[in-house]
Copies of this chain bind each other. A is one copy, B any other.
Amino acid sequence: MTREEKARVTRDSLLNAGCAVVAAEGYASASIAKIADLAGVAHGTFYNYFEDRQALFDELLPYEGLRMRDRIEEIARGAPSGMQREFARFEAFLNYVIENEGFYRVLYEAEIFAPDAHRAHMDNIVNGYKGTLRRAMDEGRMHRLDPLQAECLIYQILGMRAYSAMQIHFAGEAAEKLAIRDAAVETYRFLIGRSLLSGKDIR
């Protein structure tokens, strides 16, 4: 293994350890000590790879967020098209949260502990959606909205996602979580489908 590879491995260990600790205990108690211990390196080593603790925190959300996004898009691509794809995305998000409980924490605590990264993450997601919406509008699959309204719509859509995730998070048992997921998907379909379709059928 070259010097460079070894460095990458160490860096990834720290990043993964960071995720694991934040997932388990939250940013607030994700100390360098815990992260370095879990990564199997000395405390000082941490600072060879990251400026400071905040620097790691700022990388956590992109690191995890992209993994989630890829997973979701992979699934969404399986859907026939348009609106169905959005519904698939919504469901895939909830599934992802159920299966990666810790990710929920990495994500929602980021607003507080890594606000810059969170803002970037939001912009990222929102911009992705803007493209999707533009295409749908161009192809006449939905109402035409001006840019501001499109952005508002996206934020509201993301809010629905996030709060359905919270609702699932509050549920105690696995079976309950799944039931909520199904009902939330149904509700989402109903709210979005009815309104955005401008009179046409869901496709």
A residues in contact (CB < 8 Å) with B: 26, 28, 108-109, 111-113, 119, 122, 145, 148-149, 151-153, 155-156, 158-164, 166-167, 170, 179-180, 183-184, 186-188, 190-196, 198, 202-203
A190 contacts B180, CB within 8 Å? no
Instruction: Quickly give the copy total for this chain.
Output: 4
Q: Are B122 and A187 in contact (CB under 8 A)?
A: no
CA distance A166 to B159 in the complex (A): 9
Q: When the two chains form their complex, are residues B170 and A164 in contact, meaning their CB atoms are under 8 A apart?
A: no
Q: Which residues of B contact A164 (CB under 8 A)?
A: 152, 155-156, 159
Q: Which residue of B lies closest to A148 (CB)?
A: B183
Is the pair A152, B111 in contact by a Cβ cutoff of 8 Å?
no
Q: How far is the CA of A28 from the CA of B57 in the complex (A)?
A: 15
Interface of A is mostly: helix
Given contacts A159-B162, A163-B156, contact A149 B109 (CB under 8 A): no
Q: Which 10 A-B pairs have the closest CB atoms?
A: A159-B163, A159-B159, A194-B195, A156-B160, A152-B187, A155-B167, A155-B163, A152-B184, A152-B183, A148-B183
- Extra contacts, 8 of them, besides A111-B166, A149-B187, A187-B202 (Cβ < 8 A), are A109-B112, A152-B187, A155-B164, A156-B159, A156-B187, A159-B161, A159-B163, A186-B202
| B112:A179 contact, CB within 8 angstroms | no
Pair B28/A112 contact, Cβ less than 8 Å: yes
Central interface residue in A152, A194, A198, by most chain B CB within 10 Å: A152
Contact A163 B167, beta carbon cutoff 8 Å: no
What's the least CB distance linking A178 to chain B, in Å? 12
Q: Tell me the smallest distance from the CB of A88 to a CB of chain B, in Å.
A: 17
